């Protein structure tokens, strides 16, 4: 059961037999992918304990203050899981989220009605009937999300003479409402998908529930006999064995990506497509 920060800290002092169970900065790297939460945490409202002294998995109640001044209580896990699919900064604050989407009050029904049967989940019919693992051009795939992705696309396909323009892979089980997934870049001849991940302007992208969706997407692709390389920026941790943690995309980073492709498919195959 979650406990107050003072009680949690005192118990840690007793169990570790020290006045400072966790030194300042111990969990700096673990909290780095969540800049919005770092801004919301004030040590003076949490017994003077720094956020980097608290494990992200600790079952402890903390006081947070959003940019609008709302003060609320939540555990580290609740805060890290809160954004979900929302793309606004207020998603980190339950009060702001409620104001942005107020709960609808339904009038009481005069008599109880039978609970309707949950409808069968519909799968998008636009996915062509292709073999599992086959890449293709999808009408449902989103456009590139950033200028960085567009530049990386130009640099990558300028370095590798592989088929460009494909944006989807046919998979064997549904990913949300589709039998296809849309990696940022596809290298069909190498059967490698490249993903470019950043935390985004509000620190909401690829963290919390979005990270869970990324892991699920990787599993679906690997089940279709594709390998995945994620370029992780903004202090995001690696999710897979071939992921790269990079501060920025430049010539050196592109060279590291090419070397990673060699590790996956072998130098003979990859070098055959180099230009």
Torsion angle, alpha carbons of 27, 33, 36, 41, to 10: 0
Q: For residue 190, is it within any domain?
A: yes
Same structural domain for residues 166 and 50?
Answer: no
pLDDT of residue 261: 96
Q: For residue 55, is it within any domain?
A: yes
Q: What is the pTM of this model?
A: 0.74
225: left (phi over 0), alpha (psi -120 to 50) or beta: left
Same structural domain for residues 162 and 264?
Answer: yes
- Final residue belonging to a domain, choices 100, 123, 157: 100
pLDDT of residue 92: 83
Residue 124's SS3 state is coil
| Cα 134 to Cα 131: distance, rounded to the nearest angstrom | 6
Same structural domain for residues 172 and 256?
Answer: yes
Residues of the chain with pLDDT under 70: 84-87, 102-112, 114, 116-121, 145
Q: For residue 225, is it within any domain?
A: yes
- Number of structural domains (the chain) is 2
Paired with 227 in beta bridges are 192
Same structural domain for residues 209 and 266?
Answer: yes
Q: What is the token pair recorded at 121?
A: 């989940």
Same structural domain for residues 96 and 177?
Answer: no
Same structural domain for residues 67 and 190?
Answer: no
Q: Are 8 and 60 in contact (CB under 8 A)?
A: yes
* Residue matched to tokens 């990324």: 214
Same structural domain for residues 139 and 209?
Answer: yes
Q: What is the token pair recorded at 10?
A: 């005192």
CA Rg, the chain, in Å? 23
pLDDT of residue 254: 94
Same structural domain for residues 178 and 88?
Answer: no
pLDDT of residue 19: 94
- Give the DSSP H or E segment for 194: strand 192-197
- Per the structure, the complete domain to which residue 183 belongs is given by 135-271
pLDDT of residue 268: 96
Which letter does DSSP use for residue 111 in this model? S
Same structural domain for residues 79 and 154?
Answer: no
Same structural domain for residues 75 and 148?
Answer: no
Q: For residue 128, is it within any domain?
A: no
Question: Contacts for 249-254 with beta carbons within 8 Å, 24 or more apart?
Answer: 249/148, 249/151, 249/152, 249/155, 249/196, 254/155, 254/156, 254/159
**pLDDT tens-digit profile of 159-207?**
999 999 999 999 999 999 999 999 999 999 999 999 999 988 778 788 8
CATH number (domain holding residue 235): 3.40.960
CA proximity to 74, closest of 86, 56, 47? 56
Q: For residue 75, is it within any domain?
A: yes
Q: For residue 236, is it within any domain?
A: yes
Same structural domain for residues 149 and 248?
Answer: yes
Same structural domain for residues 246 and 140?
Answer: yes
pLDDT of residue 124: 92
């Amino acid at each position: 059961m979650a406990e107050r920060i003072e009680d949690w800290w005192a118990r840690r002092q007793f169990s570790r037999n020290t006045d400072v169970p966790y030194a300042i900065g111990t969990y700096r790297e673990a909290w780095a992918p969540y800049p919005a939460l770092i801004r919301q945490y004030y040590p003076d409202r949490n017994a003077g304990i720094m956020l980097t002294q608290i494990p992200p998995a600790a079952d402890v109640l903390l006081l947070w203050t959003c940019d609008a001044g709302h003060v609320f209580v939540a555990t580290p896990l609740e805060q890290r899981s809160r954004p979900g699919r929302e793309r606004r900064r207020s998603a980190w604050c339950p009060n702001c989220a409620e104001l942005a989407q107020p709960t609808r009050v339904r009038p009481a029904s005069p008599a109880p009605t039978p609970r309707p049967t949950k409808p069968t989940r519909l799968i998008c019919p636009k996915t062509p009937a292709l073999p599992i693992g086959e890449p293709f051009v999808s009408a449902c795939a989103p456009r590139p999300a950033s200028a960085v992705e567009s530049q990386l696309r130009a640099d990558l396909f300028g370095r590798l003479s592989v088929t460009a323009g494909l944006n989807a892979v046919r998979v064997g089980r549904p990913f949300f409402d589709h039998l296809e997934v849309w990696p940022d870049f596809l290298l069909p001849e190498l059967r490698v998908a490249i993903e470019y991940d950043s935390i985004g302007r509000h620190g909401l992208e690829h963290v919390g529930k979005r990270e869970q969706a990324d892991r699920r997407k990787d599993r679906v692709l690997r089940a279709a006999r594709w390998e995945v390389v994620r370029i992780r920026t903004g202090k995001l941790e690696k999710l897979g064995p071939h992921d790269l943690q990079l501060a920025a995309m430049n010539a050196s980073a592109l060279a590291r990506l090419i070397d990673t492709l060699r590790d996956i498919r072998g130098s003979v195959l990859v070098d055959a497509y180099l230009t």
